[in-house]
Amino acid sequence: MSRFSLEGKKALVTGANTGIGQAIAVSLAAAGAQVVCGGRRSCDETIGKIHDAGGAASALIIDFADPMAGRDVFTGAGYDILVNNAGIIRREDSVDFSETDWDDVMDVNAKALFFTCQAFAKEALAQDRQGKIVNIASLLSFQGGIRVPSYTASKHAVAGLTKLLANEWAARGINVNAIAPGYIATNNTEALRADEARNQAILERIPAGRWGDPEDIADTAVFLSAPASDYVHGAVINVDGGWLAR
The CATH code of the domain at 10-240 is 3.40.50.720
**pLDDT, tens only, 136-159:** 999 999 999 999 999 999 999 999
Residues in CB range of 89: below 8 A, 6 or more apart: 105, 148, 151
At 34, the amino acid letter reads: Q
Active-site residues: which are they?
Answer: 151
pLDDT of 65 > 90? The answer is yes
Q: What backbone phi and psi angles, to 5 degrees, belong to 36?
A: -100, 120
Question: Rounded CA gap, 171 and 169, in Å?
Answer: 6
pLDDT of 188 > 90? The answer is no
Question: Rounded CA gap, 117 and 71, in Å?
Answer: 9
Q: State the CB neighbour count (10 A cutoff) for residue 215.
A: 15
Please give the share of the chain, as a percent, with pLDDT higher than 90. Answer: 97
Question: Rounded CA gap, 171 and 145, in Å?
Answer: 35
pLDDT classification of 103: cutoffs 50, 70, 90: very high
pLDDT of 169 > 90? The answer is yes
Q: Are 37 and 25 in contact (CB under 8 A)?
A: yes
Q: How far is CA 233 from CA 3, 35, 68, 116, in A?
A: 17, 23, 25, 18
